A and B are shown apart, each in its own frame.
Chain A
Amino acid sequence: MNGYSFTLSGAALIALPSGGLWWVEKRTLIVSDLHFGKSDRIARLGGPNLPPYETRDTLFRLEADLTRTQAHTVICLGDSFDDNDAQANLAEQEKLWITRLQAGRRWIWITGNHDPGPVDLGGTHLAELPSPPLIFRHEAKHEANGEISGHYHPKAQLSLQGRGISRPCFLIDMDRVIMPAYGTFTGGLSTKAPVLSGLMRPDAVAILTGKAARAIPMPRG
């Protein structure tokens, strides 16, 4: 599997260039902050009518990762839907697509702040999932060990010969992983934000997503 391999609490993991996380031994694919139905919610709240293609684009990429990994289990780390109504408003075609991806594998929806309600799309709905030695939840807690979370949409900014580059990234230290947002219409929070500096140890690395997964020391403010 192409990606950045590392271990957390003894579990062998690979950060994929796509923004997904692969737990080798358990054949589990973890994705975070899919934000399905974001354009629907923005329009509903009186915002602009954005191109309504983000759900299918996210599904395209997720399907590609599932084909590559042949995952037995999928964990969606919360904020899978932009809100509960967005879930209800998904096009029939998109709901069927999700059902098709779920066929033959275990599927877990972790609750996020955007999608607290139950999911009527199949799969298991959980507030968090302990799966020793790891624990999966939406938002990182300060005292944690082997924790995989999302929520913050971290992105790293760096300068390449004077040219600014910004990429969604994983943040990794010996306690935890904070995952990048996987959804197509998602922005990011700079790794320089104090809240991220506060959560991550000084020696944390950032794994940039893109064509290849690349590690750099976590950029800090």
Chain B
Amino acid sequence: MTGMSKEIQQWLKLREWILHPHQVKLFETRNRTSQLLIAPTGAGKTLAGFLPTLHELSLEKYYGLHTLYVSPLKALANDIKRNLSTPIDDMALPIRVEDRTGDTSQNLKRRQRVDPPHILLTTPESLALLISYPEAQKFFSTLKRVIIDEVHALAETKRGDQLFLALGRLQHFCPDLRRVGLSATVDDPDAIADLMAPHPAPCPILYADPGPAPDIKMLLGDTPPPWSGAGATYAIPDVLEQIKTHKTTLIFHNTRAQAEIFFHNLWLANEENLPIGIHHGSLHREQRLKVEAAMTAGHLRAVVCTGSLDLGIDWGDVDLVIQIGAPKNVKRLVQRIGRANHRYNAPSKALIVPANRFEIIECHAALNAVLENDLDGDPPPRGPLDVLCQHITLTACAAPFDPDALYHEIKSVGGYRSISRAVFEDCLDFCITGGYALRRYDQWHRLMRDENNWVRLRDPRAASRIRMNAGTIQDSDRVKVRLGKNRGGKPLGEIEENFAATLSPGDTFLIGGQVVRFDSLREMVVMVSHTTQKKPKIATFMGTKFATSTQLCDRILEGFQTNAFDALPDYTTQWLNQQRSLSQLPQRDRLLVETFYHKGKHHLCVFGFAGRNAQQTLGLLLTNRLEELGKAPLGFVATDYATLVWVLEPIDTPETLFDKNQLYHGFDHWLGTNAVMKQSFRAVATIAGLIERNLPGHRKSGRQASFSSDILYDTLQKYDLDHLLMRVARTEALSGLVDFGRIRAMLDRVEDRIDHLKLPHVSPFAAPLLIEVGRIAIQGDAVERLLDAEASALMHAAGVQI
């Protein structure tokens, strides 16, 4: 190999390894300032990334930190450490590898700051903290390379923005720094390269051979899937059969709640006691590590999991991946499939289990997309300002800075390269004064300007408090669950605080695959005990639901026109044919709207195919409009494809409802009071540092001292509507959970081509929506009316007369 050290050449020979072309190429171009490698799972990305480091460190004894490895998962760092030890031990190289994550002990962290290893494995959060220490510049002064693993996963989130801002800092410390991004196959590599590049320098992209096409099918037995729902319990016997005939199976779910329920039901049916585990992000760390270890050792036949296993961890001999429920997004599906057969040149084997009838169609469309390598992906958010605010404050924690210099540094970061000085100053002002229209507590600002106009911490003691609140992952609303009678009880995992607050002693719910009984909630810990009950009383706890991607929705609509679904089982084709003859199949450039009367209510069903979040927002806009028109809307329900609204008064000309001016009218007001806005504000305000999640010593006092972020939101809404964080929260709500862009795109596309079908009864496509869960009652007085009813019921039950 050209230019590779003889130790490495001998080692490769000893192991009888021949490097893949992309590994060689990445080595040859190792002196580039930045590079992005796109390679499928199992293509030896990590080795490719580390070869230049091993080479350079095998040439001479090195002092100080040489390479920083950043990955989105702590578990990935552990995995890499194990994998690196093989070549390092084999070659007896004098290289010290250490990790630094949230799990690393305080002692080791302190020691590392004085005596760094040659290779440091870390996460974006830990890196952000590292650059906030006064000794950061010295610590990183010897750094030569940064490897960013699974950069595609980071690029889509604020964690990525945080990381790239930190890289800007590192580049400032060491101008010769070289960065390499390792990415799975994605739809838009240029976008990732753009985020990664140290602007104005470009980031060249290197492509590995994509490998053979995956072997992927739908798992359809004799039992047709139910009409609605997402659990796929019906498929459990078939799934068990598959587990039996394979070595190790990964069973992916879209939400933690679904994973819990499926795992529970799987065990109820698991008569042979096959070793099956569960793994998701809400489980306690020890539980997860146990499953990971059992998995690596080959002791498990199957693991029920969520996105926590999506990323490239090498879990040994997985030979089958089962995806439960439509994957909603083709890119995610491809990455999950890649988990099977972790060998580069063998096709991966995967099965998709549709959870309901409609998902058969969605799965079919997704399968075709995989075969045609047509990946989707929404453009990653560009330069979120809450993350920038956190970065500015953390930068001040390390040392006073010159705002001019920091502005130029931030403009070198992909997501922020077009940020104006005015917007940067807004963020800086927020960090210094709070950025309120009303100027207060001038003497208590966290940051201040000194005589040279440099920005520094007013009180250096605040640094530890600020560090404690760093990070962009939202977990402040979770409480721990412990088993047993005292606080030392065995930790099981976490549940959402809102969910915890609704539990009464004696209620049972699922966590970690077992049914537990709720005993008490105290000092932010949910205490539970064992129960013999098999069925949990409380069915679920909340979890994120993904919206089906635009590309996948388009493929489904296209498939209706090209009869692409004719090869599906009879129970599906018959359903499609019935819809075709009784109503019509939805089309991409038209909007199908059905009205019908059912069980005493008039119904309106809109097949927008805009994804769950947008369809939900459409439901809110429509009911808002119907309220204005005096149609007395009672509620609505939304899926990825359609919104069903029920009203007391008949709707004769639904076409007029879609007049854009009228539909969007009142939207601003609606948005301002919407729970989605409050949720978005909470996240933004926490990241920007306005809301603290971990106060030293305050955790114990429980909630009495703290008050909810909703109060801050309401206050700003009332007195300071234009505050920076309100603007950021609004932008995020519109693009995120509200997904307003997709409604607008859909309405712009169909213009006035609205097909209204007035039907004598419910249509085959609308029928599943009648039994869909997640119905939303119209807010406003509805909550007050419910509260009235609940209060009288409770008082009556207690025998109290009011």
Contacts and interface: CB of A to CB of B under 8 A. Distances in A.
A53 B437 CA distance: 10
B704 interface: yes
B712 A51 contact: yes
Contacts of A39: 440-441
B708 interface: yes
B608 interface: no
Interface stretch (B307-315, B663-671, B717-725): B717-725
Interface in A54-69: 54, 56-57
B791 A54 contact: no
B786 A43 contact: no
B462 A160 contact: no
A88 to B, nearest CB: 13
Contact of B436 (A51, A158, A164, A210): A51
A14 interface: no
Interface stretch (B56-64, B171-179, B685-693): B685-693
Interface string B718-747: 111001000000000000000000000000
B392 to A, nearest CB: 14
Given A215-B795, A217-B795, A53 B720 contact: yes
Contacts of A185: 707, 711, 715
B715 A187 contact: no
Contact of A51 (B461, B689, B707, B723): B723
Interface stretch (A24-32, A96-104, A134-142, A188-196): A188-196
Given A46-B465, A50-B712, A217-B800, A189 B436 contact: no
Q: Which residue, of B444, B445, B783, has the highest number of chain A Cβ atoms within 10 A?
A: B444
Given A39-B441, A57-B715, A187-B708, A52 B784 contact: no
A153 B704 CA distance: 7
B679 to A, nearest CB: 14
B438 interface: yes
Interface residues of B, number: 53
Given A39-B440, A164-B498, A166-B501, A49 B521 contact: no
Contact of B434 (A51, A157, A203): A51
Contacts of B436: 49, 51-53
Contacts of A203: 800
B520 interface: yes
B705 interface: yes
B791 A51 contact: no
B10 interface: no
A196 to B, nearest CB: 11
B794 A54 contact: no
B689 A48 contact: yes
Contacts of A56: 719
Contacts of A161: 786
Nearest to A218: B798
Interface in B112-136: none
Contacts of A217: 794-795, 798, 800
B521 A221 contact: yes
A185 B711 CA distance: 7
B499 interface: yes
A40 interface: yes
B784 A212 contact: yes
A56 B440 CA distance: 13
A47 B696 CA distance: 11
B800 to A, nearest CB: 7
A166 B521 CA distance: 15
A49 B433 CA distance: 7
B22 to A, nearest CB: 47
B503 to A, nearest CB: 8
A44 B499 CA distance: 35
A211 B794 contact: no
A211 B520 CA distance: 30
Contact of A46 (B461, B691, B703, B707): B461
A179 interface: no
Given A54-B715, A166-B501, A49 B445 contact: yes
B446 interface: yes
A186 interface: yes
Nearest to A57: B715
B177 to A, nearest CB: 33
Nearest to B695: A47
B406 to A, nearest CB: 20
Contact of A52 (B440, B465, B703): B440
A148 interface: no
B452 interface: no
A43 B703 contact: no
A214 interface: yes
A184 interface: yes
Contacts of B707: 185-188
Given A51-B715, A57-B715, A214 B705 contact: no
Contacts of B802: 215
B221 interface: no
Interface string A193-221: 10000000001010010111011110001
A91 interface: yes
Contacts of B711: 184-185
B791 A215 contact: yes
A106 to B, nearest CB: 31
Contact of B446 (A48, A158, A166): A48
A141 to B, nearest CB: 19
Nearest to B723: A51
A189 B520 contact: no
Q: Which residue, of A50, A57, A161, A210, has the highest number of chain B Cβ atoms within 10 A?
A: A50
A162 to B, nearest CB: 7
B461 A57 contact: no
Contact of A57 (B446, B501, B689, B718): B718
A84 to B, nearest CB: 16
A72 to B, nearest CB: 29
A216 B692 CA distance: 33
A49 B441 contact: yes
Contact of B718 (A53, A157, A192, A205): A53
B444 A189 contact: no
Contacts of A48: 434, 446, 689-692
10 contacts: A48-B446, A52-B441, A53-B716, A160-B783, A187-B703, A188-B703, A203-B800, A215-B800, A217-B794, A221-B522
Given A210-B784, A215-B791, A216-B795, 15 more contacts: A44-B441, A50-B434, A52-B434, A52-B438, A56-B719, A152-B704, A157-B501, A160-B783, A186-B707, A189-B704, A193-B702, A208-B791, A212-B788, A214-B787, A215-B800
Interface of A: 39-40, 43-44, 46-54, 56-57, 89, 91, 152-153, 157-166, 184-190, 192-193, 203, 205, 208, 210-212, 214-217, 221
Q: What 3 A-B pairs are tightest by C-beta distance, nearest first?
A: A49-B434, A52-B440, A187-B707
